[in-house]
Amino acid sequence: MSDYQLICDYKHIEKYKEGFIILVKSIFGIDFSAWVEQGGWNDKYICYSFIDGDHVIANASINKMTIILNQKEYKAIQIGTVMTHPNYRMQGLSRKLIDHIIDKYEHECDFIYLFANDSALDFYPKFGFQRMQESSFSINAVHLSSQPSKTYSVRPLSINNSVDFTLLKKFAEEKIPVSSILSVINNEHQLLFYFILTFHDSFYYIEEADVVVIFKHEDHQLHIFDIISTTGIDIDAILNSIITPETETIHFYFTPDYSIDHLEAELISQSEDTLFVRPFLKELPKHFMFPITSHA
């Protein structure tokens, strides 16, 4: 293992960048190429990788971002893209990378956090991470009909349209907190990832409100993944603009402001992404959800 070299912040070195993209695709089945080509890989996303020769064999990345928690700003690091090539596992490479990141950043930020799948639930507590339970938020759509509100026209956006993509980049760079309780800002690289790779057919522009909403209708459920604004959010008008007569329940994949009428919150008992935080964040309220568009 002494032959493995630790490298970092190599987005301008083509052979390592390509090696990273290849490893991500082989491990997670996700092709980062379009995100990289569209300028998503900026200085807020830094890879820490082991290489064997010129091949990237293990990685843990950090995402620099600002967390708004109860109207107070926190400097945070989120760890993600933790992976090791199958031929190099059981050598403690991920452990060394996580240790390196903690040593480097724990005194430069207020907290470090990550999301883990079921296979890693016993791994991260070894580094001092504590498991946190998020909540789900929803509203029964029947309550909206009793709230007279203006409605706006909604149009889909396409990343393949240069004008639309320029608009999306502006929103990603200049967005304000979606909630005063818990929001993530200064994470435009992550938003572009979700625009390009995850929700490319699910984001819409409400021009009169100057807001981008990422949402999807399924059966009688409306799933709202994010609301992105650079000025302000009139939640009632937005909801009334995107619901349909068939909508029964509206689900939020972020923490809405608790002032929303008839908002229901419920602790999530099982999740594909389990939150781990270091050190423990006593400031977190009982019910919260980190925006899904901020997951690394």
Q: Which token pair is 153?
A: 């026209």
pLDDT per residue as tens, the chain (296 positions)? 457 999 999 999 999 999 999 999 999 999 999 999 999 999 999 999 999 999 999 999 999 999 999 999 999 999 999 999 999 999 999 999 999 999 999 999 999 999 998 888 899 999 999 999 999 999 998 887 555 567 899 999 999 999 999 999 999 999 999 999 999 999 999 999 999 999 989 999 999 999 999 999 999 999 999 999 999 888 888 998 999 999 999 999 999 987 777 899 999 988 889 999 999 888 899 999 999 999 99
User: What is the pTM assigned to this prediction?
Assistant: 0.92
**220 close to 246: Cβ distance less than 8 angstroms:** yes
CATH code: domain 137-267 is 3.40.630
The topology (CATH level 3) of 5-131+270-285 is Aminopeptidase (3.40.630)
Domain boundaries, the chain: 5-131+270-285, 137-267
Strands (E), the chain: 5-8, 45-52, 55-69, 72-84, 111-116, 130-132, 135-140, 155-156, 182-185, 203-206, 211-218, 221-229, 249-252, 264-267, 274-278
